Structure formats: C-alpha cells, structure tokens
Amino acid sequence: MHAPAPSPLPARNLEHAGASILVFGDAATACHAAADRFADTLGSALQERGRAVLGLATGATPVRLYASLVARHRRGELSFADVATYNLDEFYPISPFDPKSYRFYMHRHLFEHVDLAPNRAHLLDGTVPEAFVAEHAAQYDRWIAADGGLDLQLLGIGRNGHIGFNEPTDRPVAETLALPTRLVDLHPITRADASREFGAEEEVIPRALTLGVAPILAARAILVLAFGSNKADAVARSLTGAMTSRVPGSLLQSVPGKVTWFLDAEAARGLL
Ligand code: F6R
C-alpha cells in the first residue's frame, strides 16, 4: 500500500475580500506552488522589462520556498542574473554577521546559492547610526521606486496580524495605509515569537526597521504565506474581518486583485 502522492493542485480555491486564497493539504505543497508563482512572476517581469524587482521576507514560513527556488536554480531553470531584491525588515541595531540578522538568514537560505549580484540584494541596514536611520529608511523607499517598484512582494504574517514589522496599532486606517519605511518598536507578541531565535524574550532586540505599509501595498503582486494553526486567527481576521490597523494583514483588502494567499489547511481553518 502506498500513500497517495500529494496533489499539486490546491485542495481548495477560495475568494475573500478581493484576494485569491489557495489552500493546500500541507505547507510543503503550498511552498512548492508559491515557488511556481514566484518563478512565473519573475519570468513575466524579465520578458516584459528585461529585469525583475522582488520583495523578500524572512522567518520560518518561507524557508521551504527558498529551498525550492534554489533547487530550480541548480537545475538551470531559474536565474537571478537580472533580478534586484529588497527585504522587508531587519532588527535594529544588528550586525550583518549576527546569525540572527535577516541579512545572515537571506545569505544562508538564498543569496549564497544563486546568481544574484551582491549589489542588487538590498536589506535595511542594522548598522546605520541612529541619527541617520530616518534618512536611510526614506532612501530605501526611493531605491525601490527608482528600480521601477516591486514586481512581487512576498509576505508572512505574524500571530498578531503584522505584515513586515508593521505592528498592530490604534491609528486610523488611512494613516496606516500611508506609512513609509521606518524604525518601529516590536509588539510583545512579536518579541515572544522571536525568543525562538534569541533564546529568551529579554534577549530579543526590541526594535526593527520595516518596509512601510505603503510600499508593501504598492507592489504589483503580493503573495502571503501562512502555515499552522497558530496563524489561523490572524488569517481569518485579515480576510474576513473589517480593515483595521489592529490587524495589519486586513489592510491587504485595500488592494483587491493583487493578493494571493498560500495556506495550509490549519492556517485556513477559520475560512473553511
Ligand atoms: C519577516 C517578516 C515577518 C514574518 C512574520 C511570520 O521578514 O516580515 O512579518 O513574516 O513574523 O514569521 P514566521 O514565518 O517566522 O512565522
């Protein structure tokens, strides 16, 4: 008796709040499908403009997506030669050599394995002197705009609904939608979750640089990945609740037609 091979097709295909939602039996299948979409978007941008500009995320969620992209590159199916990347966020302050830095993560999971030019792999810089952080963040938004804007933004979602490190607040929605890239304080739930990498909550660097809500929403396409039951609440509130700054993921409803969610059945529990 053999277990049936996992279906490459989404188990379910839903729509909520102008987003398309693909629900897969497990996270590995979802990551494979998300890698297909990622590679297709990259290919279309190369065809249309001769180059592609990609917004990348870190964390546990996209690790298998990056592994799948690296495997495609090794098979000669995917090249990053004409690609520029911009990461979503970085702890502040942090050394790029710190294994907990997102620069280190990106190097380990993607950059050292593919043919991306070193001066086209951009991250917010955790070493910028504090007096120049605002200028650095504003400059990062200008770099993306000067590069023609993001063809694709990859996102995970926090248990508290954060996207990038745009954390829940009580701001009016219109104000949050206009937020640029900036230095932020991490929310207690984000700090609790980051204790996984930092060893203890008190050790977590409490601030970070994050791409703003405005440049995230300006991407031409947005892929959101969420796996596991601990994301089910944030996913359901983002997709079926009202748009509110208390659930930053719900602000993705403001760009109908741009967003595709790749979920496993557990993360989709509140939608099915
Ligand atoms: C990471 C990022 C965060 C994570 C989110 C989920 O660059 O911007 O918003 O996507 O915190 O993290 P994981 O994937 O570790 O559950």
| Nearest residue to 267 via CA among 252, 255, 251, 249 | 249
Ligand 1 surroundings by CB, under 6 angstroms:
57-61, 88-89, 156-158, 162-164
Instruction: Tell me how far apart the alpha carbons of residues 126 and 74 are, in angstroms, rounded to a whole number.
Output: 31
Question: What's the pLDDT score for residue 10?
Answer: 55
Q: What is the DSSP string of 114-165?
A: S---GGGEE---TTS-GGGHHHHHHHHHHHHHHTT--SEEEE---TT--BTT
Q: Say what the pLDDT of residue 266 is.
A: 96
- The residue nearest atom 3 of ligand 1, judged by CA position, is 164
Whole-prediction pTM value? 0.95
Tell me what pLDDT residue 1 has: 37
Closest CA to 264 of 230, 233, 226: 226
> CB under 8 Å, gap of 24 or more: what pairs does 194-198 form?
196/60, 197/100, 198/100
What per-residue confidence (pLDDT) applies to 11? 63
In the reported structure, the alpha carbon of residue 58 is separated from the centroid of ligand 1 by a whole-number distance in angstroms of 6
Kindly indicate the confidence band of residue 16, based on its pLDDT and cuts at 50, 70 and 90.
Answer: confident
CA distance 121 to 107: 10
Burial class (CB in 10 A: 0-12, 13-18, 19+), 2: exposed
Q: What is the pLDDT of residues 144-194, one digit of tens each?
A: 999 999 999 999 999 999 999 999 999 999 999 999 999 999 999 999 999
Instruction: Provide mean pLDDT across the span 110-127.
Output: 98
pLDDT band at 3 (very low <50, low <70, confident <90, very high): very low
> Per-residue pLDDT tens for 202-238?
999 999 999 999 999 999 999 999 999 999 999 999 9
Question: Which residues are marked as active site?
Answer: 89, 160, 162, 167
Give the integer Cα–Cα distance in Å for 111 and 103.
Answer: 9
Q: What percentage of the chain has pLDDT greater than the value 90? A: 93
Which of the four pLDDT bands, split at 50, 70 and 90, describes residue 13?
Answer: confident
Per-residue model confidence as pLDDT tens digits over 50-94:
999 999 999 999 999 999 999 999 999 999 999 999 999 999 999
In Å, what is the CA distance from 34 to each residue of 40, 65, 193, 242? 10, 7, 24, 26
Residue nearest to atom 12 of ligand 1 (CA): 59
Amino acid at 208: A
Average pLDDT, the chain: 95
By percentage, how much of the chain surpasses pLDDT 70?
A: 96
- Interval 21-42 mean pLDDT: 97
User: How do beta strands 89-92 and 207-210 pair?
Assistant: antiparallel
pLDDT of residue 5: 46
Residue 272's pLDDT is 81
pLDDT score at 196: 93
- Ligand 1, atom 11, lies closest to the CA of 158
